[in-house]
Chains A and B, each alone.
Chain A
Amino acid sequence: MSESAGLEDGYRRLLAWYPLSFREEQEDEMLAVLMAGAEPGQRRPGRAETADLLWSAVRMRVLRALRPGPVNQRWAGALAAFGVLTPAFLVIVAALEVALPYHLSLPRGHAGFMAGWLARHPEVGGPSLLGATFFDAAIGIQIVVAALALLGRRRLVLLGMLASVIFWLVYWTTGRFGISSVLDALQLLAASGYLVGGAALLVSPDAERGWRLLSWRHWALLVPAAALVQVTTFLGDQQYAVRLFFLRPLPGIAGYVVLTAILAVATAAVVPILRLSWYFLLLLVVLFYPYALQLAVSRAFRPGGFGTDLLRLVTPGHEAVLFVPPALFACGILLIAVWPRVSSVSASTGREA
């Protein structure tokens, strides 16, 4: 086989990822452009070229699936709003972690590389977290990634999300092998949340459109929902004696349950009061999934079982429970967007419109 024939076969294999209707019309033309741009003696597609072709194939499928049409318009609007609301929700949750002036007492018996830091901070929480390098980095990553998402910088966000997930997996692994016995539940949860955010961003047709579709009513819904996440996290952190500044002395478990219920009702009530679509509440339920999961298995509801906290003593099984549902959700959205049959139906709908 000659060099050019091998290169052409390589390009054809990559072009197979493009929609069938596109290939039927333009595969030979695009192949001619790729061959014209190849270096003399090149035997196979370069890495950057391969990445560009694969990314463009996904993007073309998504864009074709979301083209104007009665059905597509609705989906495109919902996904555009999803693409803005999800990163915004993650940012508000991260910001509330610092903004709420709660305190976290030093847990007993902890050792490892964070022990020195903890010893210097017998009580941490709220604004004092800003003095801790580790939290600076953690919250900084979240805010930067979410800000890029809100600006519609898809590739940078995907890289940031990937880095974030890897960071937390490394952190968890070091914890498993005794380098640190302190695992940060909320940050690991945020990593799984990013998978949902990433899916939203990938299929979002246009960040600007998402911004236009949202009004102050939607943001009014996000604030109690984010506060609910934070209070739920306090519930899961009972063994660390978390105290909200306005609830001194430390309330019992019932106090936190009441506060959680009030916030949950407030969040649900905002939907009919402000005449919002129930889609947004459903969206928040999806985002709330990892936090609700932690609450369900936390010590708050199993007072005797110290080792049952999902994220303080993480096992591979726990990780699967945490990451698999959001990952499946992400894959589901992608499949819907890129499935050829759906694309062809969408294309014909678009022509009729």
Chain B
Amino acid sequence: MQEATFLILTALAAGSQHGYGIITDVQEISDGRVRLRAGTLYTALDRLRADELIDVDREEIVDNRLRRYYRLTPTGSKLLAAEAARLQANASAALARLHLAGGTT
């Protein structure tokens, strides 16, 4: 799973969000390292919807502009959980070995 996809799914893990909310949340989650642009975000959202990992939650009109909220589907939640576990296992293994080798962690 690409990092951007992982971060988008993570941004939706706690609840539904609209497009701009996802962009700011991804920036916050990644500590400012990943800044999604709108084109990249909507291409990813289009693909994630087609793969049934996310779905539209609701729509609102704010300041005369359409705001659409997205949420994780059960399949999306499972995939995110599996990917997070995999990354955690890899990170734990790396840190354990660094510790064994006497590296600074």
Contacts and interface: CB of A to CB of B under 8 A. Distances in A.
Interface in A1-44: 22, 26, 28-37
Interface in A52-67: 52-57, 59-60, 63-64, 67
A258 interface: no
B50 A53 contact: no
B34 interface: no
B20 A55 contact: no
Nearest to A67: B50
B20 A36 contact: yes
Contacts, number: 62
A215 B71 CA distance: 40
A26 B41 CA distance: 12
Contacts of A159: none
A48 B19 CA distance: 19
Interface residues of chain B: helix, strand, loop or mixed (majority): helix
Nearest to A49: B37
Interface stretch (B60-68, B74-82, B88-96, B97-105): B60-68
B68 A29 contact: yes
A33 B19 CA distance: 6
Interface string A63-81: 1100100000000000000
A4 B42 CA distance: 22
Nearest to B22: A33
B38 A52 contact: yes
A56 B39 contact: yes
A35 B62 CA distance: 13
B46 interface: yes
Given A63-B47, A67-B50, A32 B20 contact: yes
Interface of A: 22, 26, 28-37, 48-49, 52-57, 59-60, 63-64, 67, 350
